[in-house]
Structure 1
Amino acid sequence: MFSLTSNSSGNFLELWSSHAVVRIVTQSAAALALLDKPVWFCLRAEPKREHLAAISLRRQFGVECLSPRLRFRKLTQRGPIWFVEAMFPGYLFARFNYATQRRAVESSHGIRGIVRFGDRLATLPDDTITALRSHAGIDEVVTIDASLKIGQPVHIIEGPFRGLEVVITQVLPAKERIRVLLDFLGRSMEIDVSTAKVLPA
């Protein structure tokens, strides 16, 4: 989502995700048309196709893109599954020359257009992209660390207590096992469980 704030030298935007905040500067389309160098833009993309849109831009037009994604494990009816989703759903970042490449970029597969506010376009400083790249890594995928902590509720996903929600009472020294408190047949008891057999609730 965007939050728009004002500054004496122009407008600044922030694009928020659950794992990053990107600062965006708006610039007028007229000023960008006079620049003879590539600039980083925030683009709107088809939802759940951000990564494919970035691949298309790279292959078709040689445009440098950044479309960071999040990798996380989630409990489903079939058991725990790894998911990969866009860090900024519906958006990606691309570096191109506005005057010469805008039409090609905006007509590219999966791209809905440059993010704009009236005649002002959303651009990103190079240092913002550098920071985001260092966070996302070379493959542009951030694996969400599901570190387990004392007091955290978790679901048991394997074994005789499968499906129960329990609370962690101790992280055991080997770090691959935890002790949890569960209510079973009207009694509270602690058991040791492998961390591979639980997911955060």
Structure 2
Amino acid sequence: MSAWYLVQCKPREAERAQEHLQNQNFDCFLPMHPMMRKRSGKFCRVVEPLFPYYLFINLDEFSNWRVIRSTRGVARVVSFNGQPQIVSDEIIEGLKRQCAQLDGSAPEPIFTSGERVMITEGCFKDLEAIVQTARGDERVVLLLNLLNRTQPITLPVHAISKMR
């Protein structure tokens, strides 16, 4: 009987680990989701792991566990008290359904309503503001406190960044 287990991967090597494990005929699942990321001053759509540093692997009692630990990109099989813990099939199936639904959908919005941001360009540079709404993928309406009054301003998305 086979079961799903959780594998911890080395930093930024989950996809590499998945590739090398699949090359060894292991059944792996790396949940992915679309995101908007800023690259070279512009926002673009990327697909990233839902759980950075982790992937799921389906193993049975006859699987060779030693080769998993020595696979490129793999750090360890997650275990408690020295025993690898089984991840229920219902969780894996639910994640697979969610990832299938997200495949063709729009990525998560970059900024959400009510989020505090920092203006990084223009005459309001280095001022804090609150996101009111997003206007498509390229512009966002901010609420800026000027002279004790809240003023709405519209800026391009690349002119603001999330507060740290």
More divergent stretch after superposition (190-199 vs 106-115): 190-199
Q: Which residue of 2 aligns with 1:192?
A: 153
- Contact 2:129 / 2:142 at 8 angstroms: preserved in 1? no
Query: How many matched pairs?
Result: 155
Residue 162 to residue 79, structure 1, CA distance change in 2 (3 Å)? farther
TM-score (norm 2): 0.69
C-alpha distance after superposition, 1:23-59 (max 9, x if no partner)? xxxxxxxxxxxxxx3321111222221221111111x
What is the CA distance between 1:79 and its match in structure 2?
Answer: 4.8
Q: Does 1:68 align with 2:3?
A: no
Q: Which residue of 2 aligns with 1:101?
A: 64
SS of alignment partner, residue 64 of structure 2: helix
Residue 130 to residue 182, structure 1, CA distance change in 2 (3 Å)? same
Greater CA radius of gyration, 1 or 2? 1
Q: Which residue of 2 aligns with 1:88?
A: 51
Higher relative contact order (CA 8 A, sep 6+): 2
Q: Which residue of 2 aligns with 1:52?
A: 16
The Cα RMSD (Å) is 3.5
Q: Matches of 1:97 and 1:50 in 2, distance apart? A: 22
2:110 to 146, 171, 177: 146
- Contact 1:146 / 1:200 at 8 angstroms: preserved in 2? no
SS of alignment partner, residue 47 of structure 1: coil
TM-score (norm 1): 0.58
Residue 91 to residue 189, structure 1, CA distance change in 2 (3 Å)? closer
- Structure 2 stretches lacking a partner, 5+ long: none
Identity %: 23
- Structure 1 stretches lacking a partner, 5+ long: 1-36
Residue 114 to residue 98, structure 1, CA distance change in 2 (3 Å)? farther
